[in-house]
Each structure stands twice: as C-alpha cells, then as structure tokens.
C-alpha cells in the first residue's frame, strides 16, 4: 500500500507540473502587458531620480549636471541588483505577474536566467543608456583628425544600428508577441507568467452600459448647441406665466407695465418692440441677437423695432 500510494502521489505531482508547464506554454504573455511593464519601469526610474535630486535641491544649482549620467546609471544598477538579479523580473513585471525565462534552455520545465544573462542584460540596458548620454561629452572638443574623434563616429554609427535593430525587433514583436526588446532577443530571455493563469469569466454588461452612456453623452454634446435655449425658455414661460392685455388708452406703457416681460424685474433702460410690453434693453437685445425670429413671450408679437420707452414726465418737458 505504501509503494502504491507513493507512486500515485508522484504521478499526481508530475501531472500537476506538466499541467503547469503546459499552461505557461499555452498562455502567452500579452503584448500590452509586456509594454506596460516597461512603462512602469520607466516611471519608477523617474520617481527614484526625482527623489534623489530633491536631496540636493538646497545645494549649488547645477551640482549634479556634470555627473547626471553616472548617477542615473548607479541608481539603475541598484534597481537591477534587487529586481532582475535577485528575482528574474523587473518591478513592472512583478506587478503584472511576469518574469524572465531562459529561452535558450530546451528543458521541459521553467529555467531562470543564468548569471551571465543577467550581467549582459545590465550591460546592454544600463551601459547602453549611459554610453548614449555620455558619448557627446566624452568626445567633444576633439580635433577631427584624432582617433578619439573617429571613435565618436563609430560609437554614433553603432548606436544608430542598434536603434534600427530595435525597431525591426519591435515590428517582429508586434507580429509574434515574443522578445519585446532587442537585448531580450539577443540574450535569449523571454517574458513568461510567474504563476499559471486561469481562465476568467468576463461579463460585458458593465462595458455595454459604459458604451451606451458614452454614446448618449456624445449625442447630447452634438445636439445641445443646436437648441436655442433662450427661445425655448420664452415659449415655456409664455405658457405658464400669462399676462393680461393692457388697454392702449394714452399711448404710454410706463403706467401699465412695471416689470420686464423677460426677467420680471423693474425695467432697466426700458424698450418696446411694437407690442404693449416693456423689456430691459439688455434682455431684449441679447435675446434678439441670439434669435432673429424672437417673439414676445407674453403676446407672441414679433420684433418690429427696438424703441426706447420715454416716460410721460420727460415728454412733457
């Protein structure tokens, strides 16, 4: 019984290992996840550098300018030591459940990065950035005939070739989804999942609601500028706020109309439009400019002419 149980346990363990390996091989890392990991790494480097630079903000301005490439390389080496060298994954990859795998090993199980691959990875990424930033200052102010000046052209040409190779590698990566950067392809390291990824049931009800709401919002943004809100307001106010007609006995409106037909306050610079109602000058002028077919909200009379209303006291003078 003991031997049979042991054999059964070994068989189950082997089956689980094979399932895990097959799941890792059948579930490739998404391209967007690999690119997001690089974005997170870049944001972390900027954050570390900004915090480091704040320590010297009270010193003489420009103190770190001459040594900025070396200091950035030193901070990147520290990050590499506690991420890629120790855990086979950068900070961004750790957050996204990704790590590097030695793709050169043909074994059935997961093989981590070798020590040489880690060192060469640091040399290609950190050393390449440092050389690119420092190359201009290293070979500046040199005579054109010197060998150092020729070395500058050689390094510049090499950096250009590496950029072209990185572009070609990125195009291949978009097609096949493996080796997001040229150093990864050159060193034979590939991003894989740290833990097996299970299948998730994704519901699209929330996405459908969001799409419906965004479509409705865009429709309102297109429709609202086409609606004349002032005219709509006057029409509605004419329905619910009717005013009785005044008798035209003496030809003056100051006695009968004590409020603006639009704002309801005492008329400021009162004007008429040809009907028996009084308006503030700014009220009737703004409404008429926004709507050429503006009508009186009280009696639906069209604007004939804006005439200032002169009280009877000034007429008699």
Measure CA 7 to chain center. Answer: 55
Q: Where exactly are the structural domains of the chain?
A: 2-193, 229-316
Which residues, 6 or more positions from 271, have their beta carbon under 8 angstroms from its beta carbon? 278, 279, 280, 281, 284, 306, 307, 308, 309
pTM over 0.75: no
Q: Determine the topology of domain 229-316 in CATH.
A: Herpes Virus-1 (3.30.40)
The tens place of each residue's pLDDT in the chain, 317 residues long, gives 445 444 444 444 455 444 444 444 446 788 888 999 999 999 999 999 999 988 888 888 888 888 888 999 999 999 999 999 999 999 999 999 899 988 887 665 668 889 999 999 999 999 888 888 877 666 665 555 566 667 777 888 888 898 999 999 999 999 988 899 999 999 999 898 887 766 556 567 777 888 888 888 888 888 888 877 766 776 676 676 554 444 444 444 544 567 887 887 888 888 888 788 888 888 888 888 877 777 787 777 778 778 887 655 444 44
Exposed, middle or buried, 283 (CB in 10 Å: 0-12/13-18/19+)? Answer: buried
Residue 110 to residue 21: CA distance in whole angstroms: 7
Contact 194, 92 (CB under 8 A): no
């Amino acid at each position: 019984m003991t031997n049979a149980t042991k054999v059964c346990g070994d068989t189950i363990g082997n089956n689980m290992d094979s399932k895990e390996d097959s799941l890792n091989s059948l579930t490739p890392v998404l391209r967007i996840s690999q690119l997001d990991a690089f974005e997170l790494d870049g944001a972390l480097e900027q954050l570390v550098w900004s915090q480091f630079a704040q320590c010297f903000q009270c010193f003489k301005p420009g103190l770190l300018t001459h040594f900025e490439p070396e200091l950035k390389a030193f901070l990147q080496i520290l990050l590499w030591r506690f991420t890629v060298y120790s855990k086979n994954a950068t900070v961004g990859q750790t957050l996204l459940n990704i790590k590097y795998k030695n793709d050169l090993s043909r074994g059935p199980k997961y093989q981590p990065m070798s020590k040489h691959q880690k060192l060469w990875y640091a040399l290609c990424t950190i050393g390449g950035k440092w050389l690119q930033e420092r190359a201009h200052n290293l070979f500046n102010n040199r005579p054109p005939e010197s060998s150092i000046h020729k070395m500058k052209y050689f390094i510049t040409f090499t950096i250009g070739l590496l950029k072209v190779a990185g572009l070609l590698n990125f195009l291949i990566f978009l097609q096949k989804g493996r080796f997001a950067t040229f150093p990864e392809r050159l060193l034979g390291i590939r991003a894989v999942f740290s833990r097996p990824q299970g299948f998730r049931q994704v519901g699209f009800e929330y996405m459908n609601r969001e799409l419906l709401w965004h479509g409705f919002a865009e429709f309102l943004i297109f429709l609202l500028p086409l609606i004349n809100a002032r005219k709509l307001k006057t029409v509605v106010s004419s329905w619910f706020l009717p005013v009785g007609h005044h008798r035209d006995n003496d030809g003056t409106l100051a006695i009968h109309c004590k409020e603006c037909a639009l704002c309801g306050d005492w008329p400021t610079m009162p004007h008429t439009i040809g009907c028996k109602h009084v308006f503030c000058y700014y009220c009737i002028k703004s409404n008429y400019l926004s709507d050429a077919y503006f009508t009186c909200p009280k009696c639906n009379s069209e604007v004939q002419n804006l005439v200032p209303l002169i009280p009877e006291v000034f007429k008699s003078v």
